[in-house]
Structure 1
Amino acid sequence: MGCQHVSELIEGVRPGTPEGCAECMALGERGWVHLRMCLTCGHVGCCDSSPHRHATAHYRHSNHPVIRSFEPGEDWRWCYVDDRLV
């Protein structure tokens, strides 16, 4: 069964901050572990293994449902609503 939220994604969304986590960089930090990109608006945030967990915080604030890994060589997507890979 597919995830209905994938159909809500914006085609060709570009990363808002290709060099790292937007919030961490605003704080002057670079302590993130991995990066995730919102597939609705392009927000780039740090993963839940990072100290601030900005990708999940972005979901909680925006309700944008699907992210993808923003790490080189990784090609997966995660739906927060369905709590699974899509």
Structure 2
Amino acid sequence: MEKTCTHLNQIRQVTPSAVGCEDCLKTGDSWVHLRLCLICGHVGCCDSSKNKHATKHYHTTSHPIIRSFEPGENWKWCYIDELFISF
């Protein structure tokens, strides 16, 4: 049986919190790729970035679903179910 995300009902219409990683912008740091929290709109850097702010945001808030905030990328990820979600 194919595993499915059980948290899709938590997705909200969100406004991005920043044009770059919100936390890196505050400290003057850089990032590799951006992720958007689909629960609150927090923009954080990916796990390839040294600060991993998107994942830190998940651990702090328990907001389970992010999407790529990169142009041309159309995917979502659920931290709890550990799977990619198709649009």
TM value normalised by structure 2: 0.91
Look up the SS of the partner of 1:4 in the other structure.
coil
Q: Is the 8 A contact 2:15 2:41 kept in 1?
A: yes
Look up the SS of the partner of 2:56 in the other structure.
helix
What is the CA distance between 1:2 and its match in structure 2? 2.8
Question: What is the aligned counterpart of 1:7 among 2, 9, 25?
Answer: 9
Aligned amino acid, residue 58 of structure 2: Y
Q: Is the 8 A contact 2:6 2:81 kept in 1?
A: no
Residues in 1 aligned to 2:41 and 2:28: alpha-carbon distance in whole angstroms: 21
Structure 2 unaligned regions, length at least 5: none
Aligned amino acid, residue 22 of structure 1: E
Percentage identity across paired residues of the two chains: 54
Alignment of 1:10-29 (within 5 A): 10=12, 12-17=13-18, 19-29=19-29
Residues in 1 aligned to 2:47 and 2:79: alpha-carbon distance in whole angstroms: 12
Look up the SS of the partner of 1:78 in the other structure.
strand
- The total of aligned residue pairs comes to 83
TM value normalised by structure 1: 0.92
